[in-house]
């Protein structure tokens, strides 16, 4: 697999191999099974970036659960107020155990907005499972109990994450070269 990828005249260097990502997903599946297998949770998959992670994770969860998709658009350099819902949860979340399935948590703005909405909709609890987590830039109030891999605060693509719609299909994770 290529060590470097060039997209839109930007150079990205390989950061995490597919095997490393797969091991992290397996470990998350084990932890989620341990904590939620008797709670019939609703898995809220955040589009678009989480689609590959969700497909890999959810197929390793062998217990009753519901799946719903949401989409929220954030505008660069803005705060929570500038997030726009494109697809809201289409399920009754009243008294349900909810797990938000995120590809990456950076500042946490998106996550906090989703969490607020889920609680407003009457959920019993709302946890987050994010594959990638940038702890150095995180400013959210919610504790991230389920994450796959911590990464440095640099822009990454691959395994669902994109730059201008490109790079989502890369099986490894690539980091923008400085």
Catalytic residue list contains 106: yes
- Do 159 and 52 form a contact (C-beta atoms < 8 A)? yes
Residue window 136-175: x/- pattern of binding to ligand IMP, with contact defined by CB under 6 A:
-------------------xxx---x--------------
Contact letters (x/-) for ligand IMP, 51-90, by CB under 6 A? -----------------------x----------------
DSSP designation for 144:
-
Those residues with Cβ within 8 angstroms of residue 43's Cβ, 6 or more apart along the chain or in another chain: 54, 58, 61, 65, 66, 67, 68, 99, 101
Q: Which residues pair with 161 in a beta bridge?
A: 158
Rounded to the nearest whole angstrom, what is the least distance from the CB of residue 38 to ligand IMP in the complex? Answer: 29
Question: Are the CB atoms for 160 and 50 separated by under 8 Å?
Answer: yes
Kindly tell me which residue out of 16, 28, 98, 103 binds ligand IMP, with binding defined by CB under 6 A. Answer: 103
Catalytic residues: 106
Q: Where does this chain bind ligand IMP (CB under 6 A)?
A: 49, 74, 102-111, 155-157, 161
């Amino acid at each position: 697999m290529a060590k470097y990828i060039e997209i839109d005249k930007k150079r990205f260097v390989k950061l995490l191999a597919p095997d490393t990502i797969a091991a992290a997903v397996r470990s998350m599946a084990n932890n989620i099974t341990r904590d939620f297998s008797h709670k019939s949770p609703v898995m809220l998959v955040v589009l678009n970036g989480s689609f590959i992670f969700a497909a890999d994770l959810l197929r390793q969860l062998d217990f009753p659960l519901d799946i719903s998709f949401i989409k929220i658009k954030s505008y660069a350099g803005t705060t929570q107020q500038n997030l726009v819902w494109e697809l809201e949860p289409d399920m009754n979340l009243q008294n349900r155990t909810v797990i938000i399935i995120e590809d990456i948590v950076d500042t946490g703005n998106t996550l906090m907005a989703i969490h607020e909405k889920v609680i407003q909709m009457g959920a019993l609890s709302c946890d987050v499972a994010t594959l990638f987590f940038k702890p150095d830039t995180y400013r959210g109030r919610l504790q991230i109990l389920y994450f796959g891999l911590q990464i440095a605060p640099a822009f990454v693509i691959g395994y669902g994450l994109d730059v201008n719609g490109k790079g989502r299909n890369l099986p490894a994770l690539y980091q923008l070269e400085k």
